[in-house]
Structure formats: structure tokens, C-alpha cells
Amino acid sequence: MKTRAIMVAAGASVLLFSGTTSAYAYPVNDAPDLTNNSLYAAGKLPDAACAKKPAKGKTLASVTKHVNAIISCLNNTWGSYLKEANLPFVPTLVEMEGKYRTDCRGRTLSPKKSAVFYCGRLANFIVQIRADWIKASDDVQIFARLSSAYGEHVLNMVDIAEAYNALHADDGTEISEQLRRYSLQAQCISGVTAKSLWPALGYPAKDAKRLAGLAKAEADKSKFNIFGKGANLAYWFNRGHSTGNPKSCNTWTAPAGKVA
């Protein structure tokens, strides 16, 4: 048997599932905290009530302020929603870096590219702001990165990450599929987030269509696609965005073709 290693958030230790076991899809077996998590019964994520984001600008200071405003909106919106549903909530913290360094798992960050990494054990983001974000003509890529990382945070808070980490697999093929199911669920939660926050933060409606395309394009350029094919990343993002409801993000019961 093999297990995969993943960092999980501190402070959310209660497994959340109802008394009945729902259907599951291979290779996920007897894991109701994944297939029937209480998050799926919490309803739609309400429209955010955050203030319009400050302009990104083209300085490190202005981009930092912009990022902090988005994360504040993420914490406020998801915090109110999870507390209302009697689910655990831990506000994520942010460590800003404007220079080259390593991420929370010790991996070396690119010295030229902006990046967002979610460090589950500490429930914080490492955000490295580089020239690409500072010089960019718009801020859609920034929101895409932050909402994707926050999807992981949501899965940690409701113990989906912990349950995923506890899964067993007989070989690398099973491990890979379980990783894709986890990653695609976080992508779907990102779509739910975008549905809620996009108008409140003042993004143009026409730019919302670009979010799914960004994830697809990045996956299509990759040689490995360990997080899922570009088409499936776009599918799950659009699924979450169209419903605005985490219930639609249950990748653990989805057919294998939707998580390839």
C-alpha cells in the first residue's frame, strides 16, 4: 500500500460527514468524509459583500495592497458561509515575498515569475510578486491564482484534505487518480469562489470567461498533467462557477473520464 503526502490545515480536526455512505468512484472506497462531506449540504456560496478591490497598479506596493484586499474578501466571504453552516473556519494568513525564495515545501521558486503557494499545515499563503504581475495590463491572472489556492484552503478546513491524505492505493496509477480528484475539486471550489466574489470586487463580467481558460492553457502546456487534463480543469471550474454551490464539486463520485 502507498499513501501520498499532503500538508493539512491546523485547527480543523473534526471529520465532517453524515451518517449515510454515498456512492463512490474507484479508487475511492469507504470514505464518506470525501463522498458525503457536510460541505455539500451547506448550499450556495452567497454573493460577496466586499468592497471593490483597489487597482492593481504597476508597483510592488500597489500589487501587494491589491492581493491583500482579495484575500481579505476571500476570508470574509468563506468565513461567514462556513460559520453559518457550523463548519470549521480558519482565516488564512499571507506571507508576501517580492524576491526569490523557496516555498512552504522547500521547493525553489522561479526568480522571474509571480507565484501563490498554499501551505496547509500553517493555513497560510506564500505570495511571491514579481515583474510579470506588476507589469501585467490586468489582474485576472492574480485572482485566478489566489482563488485556486483558496480552494485548497477550503478543502483543508472541512477535512477533505485530511481524508484524502488518509486514502490508500495499491499503485502509482491509483495515487495519480486520487490526486486528480483532489486537485479538480479545489479547481471547482475556485469556480464557486469566482461566482461569489467577481462582481463585488469590481471585475468586468466579460473577463470571467477567461478564468477557466487560464487553467486549461497551463495544463495543456504541461508534459505531465498530474492535476488533470486542461479540458477537465476547465470543466470543473465552469461547473463550480455555473452553480455557485460546493455540492457540484464532489469529484469523489464522478466518472473516471471527468477526472482524467
What is 134-153 written as a DSSP string? Answer: HH-S-SHHHHHHHHHHHHHH
Q: Is 216 inside a domain boundary? A: yes
Q: Is 17 inside a domain boundary? A: no
Tell me what the pLDDT averaged over the chain comes to. Answer: 86
- 70-117: pLDDT as tens digits: 999 999 999 999 999 999 999 998 988 666 566 677 777 777 889 898
Q: Is 45 inside a domain boundary? A: no
Q: Is 34 inside a domain boundary? A: no
**What's the pLDDT at 74?**
98
- Read off the pLDDT band of 29 (50, 70, 90): confident
Interatomic CA distance for residues 162 and 229, integer angstroms? 24
pLDDT at 220 over 90: no
Q: What percent of the chain has pLDDT over 90?
A: 64
- Find out whether 36 and 21 touch, Cβ atoms under 8 Å: yes
Q: Where are the beta strands (DSSP E) in the chain?
A: 93-97, 115-119, 124-128
**What's the pLDDT at 121?**
82
Task: Quote the domain boundaries for residue 140.
Answer: 52-259
Q: Locate 66 and state its grid cell.
A: 491589491
pLDDT at 219 over 80: no
**What's the pLDDT at 98?**
64
Mean pLDDT confidence for 157-182: 93
pLDDT at 2 over 50: no
Q: Is 25 inside a domain boundary? A: no
- Find out whether 184 and 25 touch, Cβ atoms under 8 Å: no
Specify the range with the lowest mean pLDDT, choosing from 9-13, 172-176, 248-252: 9-13
Q: Is the peptide bond before 27 cis (omega within 30 degrees of 0)?
A: yes
**What's the pLDDT at 223?**
64
Q: Is 12 inside a domain boundary? A: no
- Read off the pLDDT band of 54 (50, 70, 90): very high
SS3 state at 97: strand
**What's the pLDDT at 181?**
96
Interatomic CA distance for residues 177 and 120, integer angstroms? 21
**What's the pLDDT at 23?**
56
Interatomic CA distance for residues 239 and 191, integer angstroms? 7
- For 40-68, the DSSP string reads GGS-PPPPP-PPPPPP--SSHHHHHHHHH
Q: Is 243 inside a domain boundary? A: yes
**What's the pLDDT at 38?**
97
Number of domains in the chain: 1
**What's the pLDDT at 19?**
30
pLDDT at 13 over 80: no
Q: Is 42 inside a domain boundary? A: no
Mean pLDDT confidence for 36-40: 97
Interatomic CA distance for residues 180 and 159, integer angstroms? 17
- Find out whether 37 and 246 touch, Cβ atoms under 8 Å: no
